[in-house]
Amino acid sequence: MRARQTHTPTRAPRIGRRGFLTAGIAAAGLGLAGCGSGAATSSGRARLRQWNLFTGGDGARLMEMHEAFREEHPEIQLEDTTFMWGDPFYTKFVMGAAGGRAFDIATVHLSRLRGLGTGTLISPVPRDLLAEHGITEDTVPTTVWDKCLVDGELYAIPLDTHLVVTYYNRRICERAGVLEGDGTLVETNGEEELIDLLTEVKEATGQYGIVMETTGAWRQFWSLYRQLGGEMTFDGELVIDDDKALRCLDFLRRVSEEGLAPRASDAPGTPANFQNEIAGLMFGGNWELPTLRDAGMDFGMRPFPAVFGDPLGQGDSHAFVLPYRRTPDREAENAAVAYAAWMLRNSLTWAGGGHTPAYLPVTGSEDYQELEPQAGYREAAENVQFDPQAWFSGSAAQLQSDANSVFQAVHTGATTPEVALDRFKSAAQRLIDTPPPV
């Protein structure tokens, strides 16, 4: 059997047996052979096939950047494809990378990198080539850069960081009397101060103080847990601080039970609820910014509030990766690296979508510093809290979706924090016991 014969990008192409078999099969196909898709087009331009998972505001911004890139780089023929966010994208990513000829560069969540087969499905990024385009260790925040390294090799080029933040509706908050003189939301410290704030806002709306995605409660949970300094590891067995986890879950229970937040609000429903002003505040990803702005709302943004410690928020980073390639193709690789570097250098446009660029010269620029309301959470973005490290962890991965489905019951009141924690622990343990695919 061919158990030991899979692709590793470093290995020289084995034309021998595989080529022979391919030829045989192709002959059986009566001349159907060949038909791969060549990297170079007839016009002689380098073809660059880019895969991404951006729709909505992010998608529009990506298209805008791609148009600008095409104009500046007529020698590269950029073909972009958008797949559905989450599992459908990662399923296609895995299949395409395993096939080894479907795309030349793709965006992934940095938190997923280690679970996607670095070295087998993802090729290392040639650092010197990247440096030629001006991207080095020194131009990216260290915390993010380190996430791109696996066993000392660079496997990803980070575009941004993004995280869960607090949105506030200025009109409602003014009515509730919780705005500072300059129109920003008052800063709260600790659980009770936040609850007081939410109560005042609730009185102003007559319905709720805040909306948050109850079907995506992992984001809130991990933010709070990290504020408490909680750690989570998965080496053979789950290590979690029960007391800290319970305090976080109890907070989720409390805001719903006291009517400060709806018991149920799903991903599309949460920003809609915020727009419909059933609450004056929202916990949400910074990527909701363009939608709300397009809706013409008067709103501001702040970091996720300091409930148990520093105002830390759960987040992740979009990064470019190079797929494993069946036949090495220098030209496509050069084009891919040039493209990624260009995207980083021009990520001021990308910042319009609420994301914080990873490229330090951009975040250090005056243009970026002046962006509102991005300035309201810029500092928190520097300290984004990545998900715990495991092959089943990260954005849209199994641990998150297990946690989301368990924790939403705390919001609805269907389970107690204690039961939810037990369920989460056994779900996590089951993932740990699953043989890792990488």
Binding site for another protein (CB under 8 A): 1-8, 18, 21-22, 25-26, 28-30, 32-37, 49, 52, 54-56, 59-60, 62-63, 79-84, 86-88, 90-92, 94-96, 98-103, 115-117, 120-121, 266, 326, 392, 398, 405, 433-438
- In angstroms, what CA-CA distances link 60 with 54, 55, 89, 175, 222? 8, 7, 18, 34, 30
Q: Which is nearer to another protein, 166 or 265 (CB)?
A: 265
Phi/psi at 76 (nearest 5 deg)? -115, 130
Burial state string for 125-162 with b = 16 or more CB within 10 A and e = fewer than 16: beeebbeebebeeebbbeebbebbeeeeeebbbbbbbb
Q: Supply the minimum distance, in Å, between the C-beta of residue 235 and another protein.
A: 18
Q: Which is nearer to another protein, 56 or 259 (CB)?
A: 56
Q: Supply the minimum distance, in Å, between the C-beta of residue 120 and another protein.
A: 5
132: helix, strand or coil: helix
DSSP annotation of 395 reads T
**Helix pair 191-205, 242-257: axis angle to 10 deg:** 20
Q: Supply the minimum distance, in Å, between the C-beta of residue 198 and another protein.
A: 27
E strands of 264-317, at which residues? 281-285, 299-303, 315-316
Do the Cβ atoms of 430 and 422 come closer than 8 Å? Answer: no
Q: Which is nearer to another protein, 251 or 424 (CB)?
A: 424
Q: Supply the minimum distance, in Å, between the C-beta of residue 414 and another protein.
A: 13
Q: Supply the minimum distance, in Å, between the C-beta of residue 136 and another protein.
A: 28
- Written as six digits, the tokens of 354 are 């609420």
Q: Supply the minimum distance, in Å, between the C-beta of residue 376 and another protein.
A: 26
- How many CB atoms are located within 10 Å of the residue 89 CB? 21
Handedness of CA 136, 137, 138, 142 (dihedral sign): positive
Q: Which is nearer to another protein, 22 or 369 (CB)?
A: 22
Q: Supply the minimum distance, in Å, between the C-beta of residue 403 and another protein.
A: 13
Residues forming beta bridges with residue 107, ordered by sequence position: 320
Q: Supply the minimum distance, in Å, between the C-beta of residue 1 and another protein.
A: 5
Please tell me the distance from the alpha carbon of residue 219 to that of residue 270, in angstroms, as a whole number: 14
Q: Supply the minimum distance, in Å, between the C-beta of residue 98 and another protein.
A: 5
Burial of residue 239, with CB atoms counted within 10 A of its CB: 0-12 exposed, 13-18 middle, 19 or more buried: exposed
- Written as six digits, the tokens of 146 are 């380190």
Q: Integer distance in angstroms from the first to the last C-alpha of the chain?
A: 20
Q: Supply the minimum distance, in Å, between the C-beta of residue 63 and another protein.
A: 5
DSSP annotation of 117 reads -
Do the Cβ atoms of 399 and 431 come closer than 8 Å? Answer: yes
Q: Which is nearer to another protein, 218 or 251 (CB)?
A: 218
Q: Give the H/E segment covering residue 362.
A: helix 360-363
Q: Which is nearer to another protein, 26 or 129 (CB)?
A: 26
Q: Which is nearer to another protein, 121 or 198 (CB)?
A: 121
Q: Supply the minimum distance, in Å, between the C-beta of residue 368 and another protein.
A: 24
Q: Which is nearer to another protein, 346 or 405 (CB)?
A: 405
Q: Which is nearer to another protein, 94 or 306 (CB)?
A: 94
111: helix, strand or coil: helix
Q: Respond yes or no on whether the N-terminal peptide bond of residue 373 is cis (omega within 30° of 0).
A: yes
Q: Which amino acid type is present at position 338? A: A
CB contact set of 390 (below 8 Å; sequence gap of 6+)? 115, 234, 399, 431, 432
Q: Which is nearer to another protein, 95 or 239 (CB)?
A: 95
Q: Which is nearer to another protein, 199 or 429 (CB)?
A: 429
